[in-house]
Chain A
Amino acid sequence: MKRVPQAITHDINKQCDETNTYIQIKGYRLQKEDIAYLLQTQKEACGFYAMIEFSSSIIFQLAKVFRDSPYLSYDRYVPLLHDIIFVYYDIQSHTQHILNDEEICQCIYRGYIATNGVVSKCRSYVVKEIKKMEEDYANHVE
């Protein structure tokens, strides 16, 4: 079973171009090397948290969401995405698959802002928040 696409495919290139158009307003840009590095990161994170990923689109979603961070410089952008990908799979391994990927990305961003840009501290905030959202969702369905 392939965990993540190994090579940068045409589809990934297309998504990369689209993301670059979106984030360049804030002065960021993802190079091909950055994408290869983040794909490798995604593979490691999946292995670490015993997850299996079928798509690499989450990297671009996170890149778009974290574009607006007030605590970032150009140099810190890719390392931040590296850390956030780990947080993302950590959170995913604990959810009940009630929320969709985008909602989880947004929640991680809110946690990141609430803890003043300290990635290592935002996890507990996000876990609580997601639990609450899942409960609300379950109650709403009932």
Chain B
Amino acid sequence: MQIMLNKPMRYEFRNILHTAKQTGLLPKKTLQSIDSQHYALTNALLSQYNNNRSTCASQRLIQKLIKSIDYTIDHGLLYYEHILPALQHVSISKLYEQGRVQIEQRIHTVHTLQEELISHPLPFFNERYLSIFNQQLPAFLIPYEKTQKYYNAYQCLEDFDYPLLDGLAFTNNNYNLKGIDFVLEYMERLWLEQSFCLHFSTSDIAAFIERYEIQKDVKVDMLGVNVCEILLTQHLFSMLLASSSRLLLTQHECSYIEHMLQNIHIDDTFVTSIFTKALDNFPASIQLYLQTYAESFKELLQVMVPQQSISEWMIVPQENLTTDFQLTPPCDPKVFQKLLSDIYNTETIDGKMELIIQTPLGLYDYLDLLNDSIFIEEELPVLFAKLDIFQIALLFYVQNQELFRFHQIPTLSEEELLNLDIHELWEPSFYKYINNLSAKQKKALHDAFQVIKTIDLSS
């Protein structure tokens, strides 16, 4: 369901003029008069643009001015129900002036919305969301603070890439709007979403987002996620509970909701009843806007409930992966030097291993030992066998940090291990050793990776 918050905008002046010329909808005299008035207006605007310095300009600039005039006249035509009679009876300069008033009002509304949104921020530290206020909206509004504002009203070079409830504005063809109209529509939608979110307390939202990050194992900073959507989904789920709705559900409540959904036939009536209950306390404008999500929510339930994976969409409290693991600090350089000389002087592999076990070595000491090629290739598997699973995971992590971006964790499949980049001589033996580990050990290694991701190794 596509809704428009504002009166639908018609950009028809140029098209109607063209059609009228072709079909004779308007008398020739009127068309000539419109042409000459438009010409005079362009001339006047050019003089204003270059401060009466020149009577000529590039075709590109004139096209820009013409587009700007057409855009402004389109806004002037909003005052009239029928365009053709308006063009016949109202002068172009009057339409232009009326259009300017309309654009001025829109700029004013955008400014007001901007102030409102900034003064009631959400605790949602997402790059795209913040860049709307820090970067994109100010960059759009800069030309409107100068005298040349009307030349820019028809265009919007900014992205506005924070997705709203119905996705990115770009994928919705910018709501078929241009320039200031599009920005106003976007800001009004964002304002409605934010008003809905602020219905919950900011501390609840912050705790909810923290839970979301833990459950999804990803930070929201760089995600293209809409905060209103995740809050609304949780709010709708919580409507199935008898008690009053809240964001922070318990594990027990979630299982109850999941169980309940399994036994309910999901259809339009069910979804409508949830929406009616959920949006009961909200103003009509927010209700109308959030209704657009009903279709998506129904589809979500219809797909997820039979697969029994609805729990992925509910944000439930989860224990954060913590460990009492302490990284051994690097040993004293003198001790390390002594160890090196001892290893050189020892001939048997068992003797070397004995020395290593006796000395408390840190992660980077092991790396130094391996990188210095002290051990021959046959000795390496023996050394790796002496390490515990956590030390192996750490070594793997340090050598392949690029595999741990965002929520990624290496699968340790044979194919993946064979295709890893080799930086040091010992690495092929190391990956071969990991490949030969049992499935149980690999699972332990995988769990260790999850814990390692939470440790800041630089400290």
Question: Is B54 a contact partner of A101 (Cβ separation < 8 A)?
Answer: yes
Contact with B along A1-14 (1 / 0, CB 8 A): 11000000000000
In this complex, which of B39, B58, B62 has the most chain A Cβ atoms within 10 angstroms of its Cβ? Answer: B58
Q: Tell me which residues across on chain A come within 8 A of B385, comparing CB atoms.
A: none
Judge if A35 is at the interface, Cβ distance under 8 Å: no
6 extra A-B contacts, CB within 8 A, seeds A1-B62, A98-B53: A50-B59, A52-B57, A53-B56, A97-B57, A100-B52, A101-B56
Pick from B50, B52, B58: contact of A52, CB below 8 A. B58
Judge if A99 is at the interface, Cβ distance under 8 Å: yes
In this complex, which of B53, B55, B56, B60 has the most chain A Cβ atoms within 10 angstroms of its Cβ? Answer: B56
Q: Tell me which residues across on chain A come within 8 A of B39, comparing CB atoms.
A: 1-2
Q: Can you name 30 A-B pairs with beta carbons within 8 Å?
A: A1-B39, A1-B42, A1-B62, A1-B66, A2-B39, A50-B58, A50-B59, A50-B60, A51-B56, A51-B59, A52-B56, A52-B57, A52-B59, A53-B55, A54-B42, A54-B43, A54-B46, A55-B56, A57-B55, A58-B56, A89-B56, A92-B56, A93-B58, A97-B50, A97-B53, A98-B53, A99-B53, A100-B52, A100-B54, A101-B54
Pick from B53, B56, B59, B66: contact of A54, CB below 8 A. B56
Judge if A46 is at the interface, Cβ distance under 8 Å: yes
Q: Tell me which residues across on chain B come within 8 A of A97, comparing CB atoms.
A: 50, 53-54, 57
Pick from A1, A51, A54, A57: contact of B58, CB below 8 A. A51
Q: Tell me which residues across on chain B come within 8 A of A98, comparing CB atoms.
A: 53
Question: Is B57 a contact partner of A51 (Cβ separation < 8 A)?
Answer: yes
Contact with B along A80-97 (1 / 0, CB 8 A): 000000000100110001
The 9 closest A-B pairs by CB, nearest first: A55-B55, A100-B53, A53-B56, A97-B50, A50-B59, A52-B62, A54-B43, A54-B55, A101-B54
A58 to B43, CA, bound (A): 16
Q: Which A-chain residue is minimally distant from B62 (CB atoms)? A: A52
Q: Which A-chain residue is minimally distant from B55 (CB atoms)? A: A55
Chain B min CB distance to A106 (Å): 14
Q: Which B-chain residue is minimally distant from A4 (CB atoms)? A: B56
Q: Tell me which residues across on chain A come within 8 A of B55, comparing CB atoms.
A: 53-55, 57-58, 101
Q: Which A-chain residue is minimally distant from B52 (CB atoms)? A: A100
Chain A min CB distance to B178 (Å): 22
Contact with A along B36-68 (1 / 0, CB 8 A): 000100110010001011111111101000100
A100 to B52, CA, bound (A): 8
Q: Tell me which residues across on chain B come within 8 A of A55, comparing CB atoms.
A: 55-56
Pick from A1, A2, A46, A99: contact of B56, CB below 8 A. A46
Number of residues on chain B facing chain A (CB within 8 A) = 16
Contact with A along B268-288 (1 / 0, CB 8 A): 000000000000000000000
Give B413-435 interface residues, CB cut-off 8 Å to A: none
Q: Tell me which residues across on chain A come within 8 A of B56, comparing CB atoms.
A: 46, 51-55, 58, 89, 92, 101
Question: Is B62 a contact partner of A92 (Cβ separation < 8 A)?
Answer: no
A34 to B168, CA, bound (A): 61
Chain B min CB distance to A122 (Å): 20
In this complex, which of A52, A55, A57 has the most chain B Cβ atoms within 10 angstroms of its Cβ? Answer: A52
A46 to B42, CA, bound (A): 17
Give A36-75 interface residues, CB cut-off 8 Å to B: 46, 50-55, 57-58
A89 to B54, CA, bound (A): 12
Chain A min CB distance to B397 (Å): 54
A50 to B60, CA, bound (A): 8
Q: Tell me which residues across on chain B come within 8 A of A89, comparing CB atoms.
A: 56
Q: Tell me which residues across on chain B come within 8 A of A52, comparing CB atoms.
A: 56-59, 62
A55 to B39, CA, bound (A): 12
Chain B min CB distance to A43 (Å): 12
Give B204-258 interface residues, CB cut-off 8 Å to A: none
A3 to B284, CA, bound (A): 54
Q: Tell me which residues across on chain B come within 8 A of A101, comparing CB atoms.
A: 53-56
Contact with A along B11-55 (1 / 0, CB 8 A): 000000000000000000000000000010011001000101111
Chain B min CB distance to A41 (Å): 14
Give B140-193 interface residues, CB cut-off 8 Å to A: none
A123 to B338, CA, bound (A): 80
A43 to B55, CA, bound (A): 14
Chain A min CB distance to B56 (Å): 4
Q: Which A-chain residue is minimally distant from B47 (CB atoms)? A: A54
Q: Tell me which residues across on chain B come within 8 A of A46, comparing CB atoms.
A: 56
A89 to B58, CA, bound (A): 10
A54 to B65, CA, bound (A): 14
Chain A min CB distance to B458 (Å): 46
Q: Tell me which residues across on chain A come within 8 A of B58, comparing CB atoms.
A: 50-52, 93
Give B54-101 interface residues, CB cut-off 8 Å to A: 54-60, 62, 66
Pick from A1, A2, A92: contact of B54, CB below 8 A. A92
Q: Tell me which residues across on chain A come within 8 A of B42, comparing CB atoms.
A: 1, 54
Chain A min CB distance to B432 (Å): 67
Q: Tell me which residues across on chain A come within 8 A of B59, comparing CB atoms.
A: 50-52
Chain B min CB distance to A91 (Å): 11
Chain A min CB distance to B35 (Å): 9
In this complex, which of B54, B55, B57, B60 has the most chain A Cβ atoms within 10 angstroms of its Cβ? Answer: B54
Give A9-36 interface residues, CB cut-off 8 Å to B: none
In this complex, which of A50, A58, A97 has the most chain B Cβ atoms within 10 angstroms of its Cβ? Answer: A97
A99 to B55, CA, bound (A): 12
A93 to B57, CA, bound (A): 8
A56 to B305, CA, bound (A): 76
Q: Tell me which residues across on chain B come within 8 A of A92, comparing CB atoms.
A: 54, 56
